[in-house]
Structure 1
Amino acid sequence: MSLPIIALFTGLVLIVAYRTYGSVLARLLRLSDANITPAVAMRDDNDFLPIEPKFLLGQHFSAIAAAGPIVGPIIAGLMFGWGPALVWIILGLILIGGVHDFTALVASIRHRARTIPEVVREHVSPRAFVLFLVFIWLTLVYIIVAFTDITSAAFVGSQALENGQVVKGGGIATSSLLYLLLPVAMGLLLRFTKLSLSAATIIFVPLVVGAIWVGQMIPMDVEGWLNLSDAQKVWDVVILGYCVLAAVAPMWLLLQPRGHLGGYFLYFFLIVGGLGMLLGGRPIEYPAFLGWTSEKGDTLTPILFITIACGAVSGFHALIASGTTSKQLARESQAKIVGYGTMLMEAGVAVLALSCVMVLAKGDPLAGQSPNLVFAFGIGSILEKVGIPAVLAISLMLMAFTTFVYDTLDVCTRLGRYIVQELTGWQDRKGAWIGTMLTAGVPLFFVMQKSLDAAGKPIPAWRTFWSLFGASNQLLAALTLLGITVWLLRTRQARWPLLVTGIPAVFMYGMSCWALVGLVTKAQVAAVAWVGVVLLGLAAWMAVEAVLAIFRPARIEPLSATP
């Protein structure tokens, strides 16, 4: 088997899935443009604003894709071989992940663009609402921990290429900081001048590409006056400081223009990476299957299903779909392409990331590096085959990875702030700052800790917390599907929700709890064990609340919008 065959096969399967199962879901959910969406009915040109599908597609895609579908497939592919990872990405996405995202978006627009926790409060119980919020906040914290540490690692040290050239981590840091300044300038121009979005795109996309070249020319070499470990801690603080500012800044100033520019990075990555797979000529060298148990003793079941936390299924997507996207959907019919279609596109990102493992030789030293380096060197080597210089290609991919992470970090911090404010009732400006500082402060504590393995070697924070993040994220998906199943059963005289959302909910709930139990019993870090116990307790309580809600008298209502 070769990369072109895998690329063509994956693309064909995803297209067929969209046109068949996606259409089946749309009919079951009774999508109709006769139903007025909240974006239209409640338009305020601030939070509620209907926008063109092509822009909403890019914004939603950049928000959900980020770095998750890159990191998870690489880790899982290295652990068990690329075969099981590829099968889970394709089947998991079609039957569970796409269903999760699609139904979460529809559930939100049918409830005045309320979030999934609010839907749970209405159809399960107020107690379940609070439990869900606490669970989500803990999940967001560990997403921030994992991605902050992975990103800061890319900003230090350097990587020598076979041709003698060097990719400087400080250069990636410079490029990323320039990248954060450009959206601010774009946001100001869009807000206070007559510059159109199309014109701004034409101006700023080339500037982002230029920032990558400039970064390698003027690297921010922090480790020049600190040791490597301390330099990474400095970047941890800088990244989390950015998260704080992004979480309290107006949406138009940073998040919206940055998300727009980040979407072009994703499209470029998908198109150029896909062409590289088809035309690059790199052979597959890594084994398709390494066994049911990894070298470190982790079993394929359930670890595979929580390691690939994005790209197949992700509970985080429900927060995006119900938190922001539902407030901008102009017509119900667009929910299929935005909810189900973008998840299929994310599978493309996951398969491209997995291809970086496929082209490695067994025992390649790169396999022991962090996922962002495996990704950058893997895609970079493919792009080099089609004529892009190695240093530029690898720098471009490291920068792309960083932009994807920023999409995740600032959204997670903002959502965490919303949850703290909701739980405490502190809805003023002071409450916003307290919620933000708490959401970013807990990750800061964890990334500053030093963990050691059995041999006394340091363990990166992202590696310590990735499995916990993956398990909690997948359990969040299970609880979301469980809540949606309750909503559908209580408002419809039909049993199809038990098949379409109920079975996926039970499967993900079982795999996630199984994995969490293993993490608790084997944890080398006490915090991981204690948080795992808390998550298991919350999940069990939520399940009981959902079962009780199912057996309460049903409230049969038309499955339609309620503006």
Structure 2
Amino acid sequence: MYTFLAGIALLIVGYFTYGKIVEKIFGVNEGRTTPAYTHKDDVDYLPMNTPKNSLIQLLNIAGVGPIFGPIMGALYGPVAFIWIVVGCIFAGAVHDYLTGMISIRNRGAHLPELAGKFLGKFMKHVVNAFAVLLLLLVGTVFVSAPADLLFNLMDGWAAMGLILGAIFIYYILATLLPIDKIIGRFYPIFGALLLISALGVGGMLVFTGAPIPELSLSNFHPDNAPIFPLLFLTISCGALSGFHATQTPIISRTTQNENNGRKIFYGMMIAEGIIAMIWAAAAMSLFDGYNGLNDLLANGGPAGVVSEASTLMLGAVGGTLAILGVIILPITSGDTAFRSARMIIADYFNFSQKKVTSRLWIALPLFAISFALTRIDFTLLWRYFSWANQSTAVIALFVGAMYLYIAKKNYWISLIPGTFMLMATTTYILNAPIGFGMALSTSYIGAAAISVILVAIFFIAAKKARANNIPLEEDISNWKPAA
């Protein structure tokens, strides 16, 4: 229990301390007009207030990641708490803040465009394809996960096809309509349900004195499971997630002032970390230890753990509300995953999104591909999603480091976590059966060599970019408000 409570406290302190340091390093310009005004189109670009933006950002980035990931990561024991806390404060929240703020400085640009500007034109094409693939995987995972939870909740009351169909219909509407029509109106309600469910489960864990294990040397490697790199890919959302880099531009296009950025981007990542801590603690404490959790995961998957934990902690009625809160998470990230994919493709081909027909021609093929992907095993999808997700985080952190290097600011705040995750993702893909299947020791050596080479290339490119005076932001000196 002490490890759990200390972790929650550190996350909150991290927001007020390290978050402030990151904000100061970046350098907020309160007088600079944001894309919500300079590019206002009343579809994707329009100003919304900070509480609404914060809540939308939280729901956009949360998904099932800070729940399913920590539940599976709980198999590693209390060491999962360390990664959630340290990863969230020094990697995930930095990642989210920098991608959000750099996007604000560049007309709300998505990651592929930012990668092209700061890492080279070739990277724009690579990251564009990579980001769309990631978002398709995210959208598919976040269709399947709530469908499974709803099916369990209703005890098979409705056919899975009908549930999937209903979720897809909602996704289509949320993807196509202006952001303030569905997302801006309903997310406050969804957010309240999310917070009630998380705080309810967390509060009951403390109130009932649940046997949350403490971190010790003896439980550092349960069942001799290798922590590196698997833990750092299993727990992504809640610690560090590249998916967030695809979501922050949605809100960078609706942010009213740069000084709102720490609350919206850094702060909501801290909130997601707290959610991850709660579900990791629930998974560790409620099922008779490692073996019980492993058996439940084998039989019912993470969705089964959520259903069981919610009912145990909050009873039938409260548990149902908690499960509904968890169902909201993937749905409210799945819709924005498809929305982001639409926006990225539109930006890449320079397609105006003012007309709904222009949005439709991009969105429909995305939904068709995603529906086909729902026929693939969830576990396999999650493995590919985890690697693609954290690889995207590496790219986003290197974009942040490049921006800060060119600006002659402390780029290490982004480069250090970026390099660490580069090593983790490279080790994973070299070792994993879905990758090259090398021995773990060989994978460590190969990943270290690749990481050193890529970091060296980064510094060469960074020095050249600084010498060439690559502009850090869009020129809005001649901007005038619309009549």
Give the direction of change, closer, same or farther, for the CA distance of 1:548–1:422 in structure 2 (3 Å limit). Answer: farther
Deviation at 1:243, TM superposition (A): 2.5
Q: Any runs of at least 4 consecutive aligned residues in structure 1 with deviations exceeding 6 A, and if so which? A: 285-289, 539-545, 557-561
Q: Tell me what 2:240 maps to.
A: 313
- The residue type paired with residue 443 of structure 1 is S
Aligned counterpart for 1:366 among listed residues 276, 296, 318? 296
- Cα distance in 1, alignment partners of residues 149 and 117 from structure 2: 44
Q: 2:155 aligns with which of 134, 159, 169?
A: 169
Q: Could you say which residue in structure 1 is the equivalent of 2:427?
A: 514
Q: Is the counterpart of residue 123 in structure 1 residue 118 in structure 2?
A: yes
Q: What does the per-residue CA deviation read over 1:115-151, in whole Å, with 9 as the maximum and x for residues that have no partner? A: 2322222223222111111010111122123222222
Instruction: Give, as a single letter, the amino acid of the residue that structure 1 aligns with 2:423.
Output: G
Where does residue 493 of structure 1 map in the other structure?
A: 408
Greater shift, 109-118 or 59-68, is seen at 109-118
Alignment of 1:421-460 (within 5 A): 421-424=346-349, 427=352, 432-449=359-376
8 Å Cα contact 1:72/1:310 also seen in 2: yes
The residue identity in structure 2 corresponding to 1:475 is S
- The whole-number CA distance in structure 1 between the counterparts of 2:223 and 2:180 is 46
**Match status 1:376 vs 2:373:** no
Identity %: 22
Contact 2:143–2:167 under 8 Å retained in 1: yes
- Residues 558/426 of structure 1: CA separation in 2 closer, same or farther (3 Å cut): closer
Are residues 470 and 57 of structure 1, via their aligned partners in 2, closer, same or farther at CA, if it must alter by over 3 Å? same
Residue matched to 1:18 = 15
Matched residue of 2:229: which SS?
helix
State the Cα deviation string for residues 426-449 of structure 1 (Å, max 9, x = none). 656555334323222223223224
8 Å CA contact 1:237, 1:444 repeated in 2: no
For 1:311 and 1:237, the matched residues in 2 are separated by 29
TM-score, normalisation: structure 2:
0.84
1:325 and 1:281, CA in 2 relative to 1: closer, same or farther beyond 3 A? same
Asked if structure 2 preserves the Cα contact closer than 8 Å seen for 1:35 and 1:561, the reply is: no
Cα distance in 1 between the residues matched to 2:330 and 2:280: 18
Q: Relative to structure 2, which stretch is displaced further, 299-308 or 264-273?
A: 264-273
TM-aligned CA deviation for residue 423 of structure 1: 4.4
**In 2, Cα distance between equivalents of 1:154 and 1:480:** 32
1:306/1:470 contact within 8 Å kept: yes
**Counterpart residue type for residue 416 of structure 1:** A
Q: 1:465 to 1:272 in 2, by over 3 A?
A: same
Tell me if the contact between 1:236 and 1:447 (Cα under 8 Å) persists in the aligned partners. Answer: no
Alignment pair present for 1:392 and 2:317? yes
Task: Give the paired residue count.
Answer: 454
2:177 corresponds to: 249
Unaligned runs of 5+ in 2: 438-450, 477-483
CA distance in 2, matches of 1:45, 1:140: 24
Distance change >3 Å, CA 154–CA 521, structure 1 → 2: closer
Letter of the structure 1 residue corresponding to residue 58 of structure 2: F
| TM-score, normalisation: structure 1 | 0.73
Greater gyration radius: 1
C-alpha distance after superposition, 1:504-528 (max 9, x if no partner): 111111211221223355799xxxx
Partner of 1:112: 107
Partner of 1:342: 268
Classify 1:27/1:438 alpha carbon distance in 2 versus 1 (closer, same or farther; 3 Å). Answer: same
Q: Is the 8 A contact 1:113 1:326 kept in 2?
A: yes
Equivalent residue of 1:64, what SS? helix
Tell me the amino acid that sits aligned with residue 514 of structure 1.
T
User: Would the alpha carbon gap of residues 391 and 45 (structure 1) be closer, same or farther in structure 2, given more than 3 Å must change?
Assistant: same
Structure 1: 5+ residue stretches without partners: 158-166, 171-220, 223-230, 384-389, 450-460, 525-538
Q: Of residues 158, 164, 176 in structure 2, which corresponds to 1:236?
A: 164
Code of the residue aligned with 1:493 in structure 2: it is K
CA contact (8 A) 1:7 1:278 kept: no
SS of equivalent residue, structure 2 residue 464: coil
Instruction: Name the Cα RMSD after superposition.
Output: 3.1
| Residue 483 of structure 1, aligned match among 384, 393, 399 | 399
